[in-house]
Structure 1
């Protein structure tokens, strides 16, 4: 072996060992958060690499469920290899444990008032003791960051550990210009809205928190925007709002809300959108996709929502089609939407008009078409319906009825529960109908759906297929 080849071999070994060492780690966030975010003492949570030293996590207090606002808990960390987690319940005894989504099949062992479990990969979980879903622990095991900053520089807006409260800014918002990376470092807490308006090539990344903003992040009339890794706690309004934007990607977002109109991700006339690996617990719609509203026109298309956990304490986990342009001669089109690999942990809506875990309300002359719901697991419906497809005229939000719903597929859907209202498929008349709807491999309480005889329907639906 030549000298050069020998050195190259040793260099490659060092690179490999360094890469392995970087991956075999768990990263917790700076303690400065203790002075800026309220603590919840319901749990003590620790994490470690397998066989490593335990690290304490900060148990944040977050608020959930607008019906009667409750105090729940949240912890976060980054992992690059399998980790062991300890969760100790500090008040009362443990009679039963649920770690959801159940599809993740997280197994645990119990020792007195603590449980231990191993995570092989990053994931977002709800740890629930004794059936209590209002005071649960939300555990966010994030992937390792691949891009970090320690200071501001050209093209980088930096928010370091600590509290950032720009009271002197108009409308308490931070405007982000084009060609900018906004980095929220672990331990950063921003008490303001981030606004991307008429901009392009913007990235909002990091492990920081937006705490009680008016809205979390607003992206309007913009192009090529990435939101990745951040957490939004209890905004007054939407967590992420997209209006008239093309090329929006939202990844690894975690969010809570407990107020009226505090939706998760709302999109109006947006195109080429990807929502991937988010956890949304909202007191309004988790995901809402619309056409015209306010200052945006032109319809919506090519939107993918995938690999996510949705928890609607109020309203819909997934909702689309409600707003459009009633003054248009032909109506706007909402099309080419894919919703796949989703765990729905709750759907609770008291008003029958707004019930539906997977909901398409078509109003304002809209046409909703080419929508795929695939690999959806619904764990709980407190009050609501599993499926709801209706062309309607709702005078509270619409100025005209919708036009049609067509070419909708539900594939590989499972639900285990009891007490929900029947699913619903309805048109208005022959010219405002629901047609070409396919249900394929839908399993309810262990039984495959064979027909829609138990649905609420009317004569204005056509070509409904059950496979």
Structure 2
């Protein structure tokens, strides 16, 4: 195999009746537009490195936008490498929705989205069409991106990929425009680009594409590639398949939902912009295993316009995504529709969530009362929440753990999270419930560890923690280093003696919440060493995406792994082994979990089989 073709693809010769990718593409549909001449061609390469290899020179790639894709005129954007020529960056129109709390009507607005790829350093200029800028901010604020405002232009530099919101307004009044803003997705340079005639690739080049029935059904072993400048007006569907991918820097636009992964295994989605789906979710993952969603950017304005919804699935990684949605950004459920079974080993990391309607994170609503299911081993790590605006109290909560339908939620870690001031809602809502979607209450919530969560703002309503009854409680809930407007809330903090610690958040906890603790950063959270609870044997497939979450009891704060095969990496914060293993074989990996009382180790037999 030619290794430059990237993991998971073969250059073997197939029957030419199906043709190469060009023939497959012809069968699927035809381009109805071409790249706009005034945007130029992709890429100003300031070095000699290829997309995959070469010296680490500064490099900038700006992709064209096809004629016919709506643009937005609120901003113009330019970018360059240091001392390079400025390049115009197309600004695309996205649509957002909020809810009028008096009428229930949806309020739809236009917003701006720009994309570029870079390596090294990139300088960016954002110019407002409205004239002089009083002040500007760049979010997430945790990135602390230095910027200058001069007249009608904001200038800043980046040295690593970022998903940003540039907002104009009045800093003294703390008023910035959240709707007529610019979202900039500064992506990494693509590591791999296929040849158009690769028989294992369904290739969409620059232009606007339609396909029969508005669905691209991806066969096992195939890659759908949306090149920069490609716009696909169709859903990409992985159904009952294995070892398939959706890659590129293209756009899925104005489709009935954007991507569907159902009853499938070893699926990867990377780098796509899902823009303005007419209905449905940007990404549905149902009863599937070994799914990775990376660097997905999602904007929705339709009803039930969720970002990524996971049902009854295992070993799922969501990372580096930017979700701006008209319903839940990330939702994790058990049974719904045709999906059945537990949901476990879900990792969401290093991502940015913006909910114009409903929750940034929602968990547990849907399940199967006839055969109760469990949602477990869930990790949210390195999350920035930029907005939560929900008038209905029942659907509030930046992080909502709301088991219904006899679901049990257990072993959840929410760590290293920054929640910026939002418009309307609650910081947390953990509620064992039965609402109008449920045939029965949930069974409970247990073993939840919230560590290093920061909220700075004034709009949060009282947070809610409520068990349903004595048999369906919340138990073993630990907050550590919870910071609200600069004050760490903990059980030994200075406060009136008759106040509860929850009053200091503020937060309401009912009598069915057991073993609720608030600790400062230095207090030991555990009194006994952890025990590793994840499997001792796992199997991966060579050159296919793989995720394995190391889990442990006892509130672990860090993890380690030694002896991993090539192609796999380890996240010490989350305990996740992930990547694409290079070659078949068997490895003995030593994994460990550490808490304030000690360290536990386990030998993990990791077998990588042939594709």
Normalised-by-shorter TM-score class:
over 0.9
> Deviation of residue 24 (structure 1)?
1.6
- Counterpart check, 1:142 vs 2:187: yes
Per-residue deviation, 1:465: 0.7
Confirm whether residue 123 of structure 1 aligns to residue 168 of structure 2. no
Question: Secondary structure in 2 aligned to 1:69?
Answer: strand
Displacement of 1:150 after TM fit? 3.9
Counterpart selection for 2:199 from 148, 154, 158: 154
Distance in 1 separating the partners of 2:222 and 2:114: 29
Q: Is the 8 A contact 2:205 2:228 kept in 1?
A: yes
Provide the C-alpha distance between the structure 2 equivalents of 1:217 and 1:70, rounded to a whole number of angstroms. 24
CA distance in 2, matches of 1:342, 1:108: 23
Which residue, 187, 197, 200 being the options, matches 2:242?
200
- Please name the residue that 2:216 is paired with: 174
Instruction: State the shift of 1:92 in Å.
Output: 3.3
2:421–2:459 Cα contact (<8 Å) kept: no
CA RMSD of aligned residues (A): 1.4
Aligned to 1:463: 515
What displacement does 1:207 show? 0.2
Aligned match for 1:413, one of 453, 462, 479: 453
**How far is the alpha carbon of 1:149 from its aligned partner?**
2.2
Match of 1:109 among 131, 148, 166: 148
Write the deviation string for residues 84-123 of structure 1: whole angstroms up to 9, x where unpaired: 1000111132111010000111111122111111101111
Q: Which residue of 227, 230, 240 corresponds with 2:272? A: 230
Matching residue of 1:63: 95
Match of 1:452 in 2: 502
State TM-score, norm by structure 1. Answer: 0.93
Q: Residues 382-410 of structure 1: CA distance to partner in whole angstroms, max 9, x if unpaired?
A: 1111111110111x200011101000111
1:296 paired to 2:362: no
Q: Which residue of structure 2 lines up, in the alignment, with residue 359 of structure 1? A: 400
Number of residue pairs matched?
445
Superposed displacement of residue 65, structure 1: 2.1
Aligned counterpart for 1:381 among listed residues 422, 429, 438: 422
Aligned structure 1 segments of 4 or more residues deviating by more than 3 angstroms: 18-23
CA–CA distance in structure 2, aligned partners of residues 45 and 150 of structure 1: 30
Contact in 2 for aligned 1:34/1:58 (Cα 8 Å) = no
Task: For 2:55 and 2:349, locate their aligned partners in 1 and report how far apart those are by CA, in whole Å.
Answer: 31
**Alignment deviations for residues 177-216 of structure 1 (CA, whole Å, 9 cap, x no partner):** 1000111000000000011000000010000000011010
Is the 1:66–1:260 Cα contact (8 Å) retained in structure 2? no
Counterpart in the other structure of 1:3: none
* In the alignment, structure 1 residue 257 sits paired with structure 2 residue 309: no
Deviations, residues 229-266 of structure 1 (Å, cap 9, x unaligned):
01000112100001100000000111100111010000
Counterpart residue number, 2:317: 274
Residue of structure 2 equivalent to 1:10: none
Q: Please give the per-residue CA displacement for 1:34-75, whole angstroms capped at 9, x wherever unaligned.
A: 403111111110000011110001011111124311111111
Q: Secondary structure at the match of 1:316?
A: coil
Q: Partner of 1:103: helix, strand, or coil?
A: helix
Counterpart residue number, 2:254? 212
Q: 1:186 aligns with which of 203, 225, 228?
A: 228
Q: Where does residue 72 of structure 1 map in the other structure? A: 111
Distance across 2 between alignment mates of 1:416 and 1:15: 43
Task: Give the secondary-structure state (helix, strand or coil) at the position aligned to 2:461.
Answer: coil
- Cα distance, 1:19 vs structure 2: 5.5
Q: Does 1:426 align with 2:466?
A: yes
Distance (Å, rounded) in 2 between the aligned partners of 1:437 and 1:185: 46
Matched position secondary structure for 1:430: coil
Match of 2:502, SS state, is: coil
Q: Quick check: 1:338–1:371 contact (8 Å CA) kept in 2?
A: yes
Distance in structure 2 (CA, Å) of the matches to 1:387 and 1:273: 24
Q: Distance in 2 between matches of 1:428 and 1:403?
A: 8
Q: Superposition pairs for residues 89-108 of structure 1, below 5 Å? A: 89-108=128-147
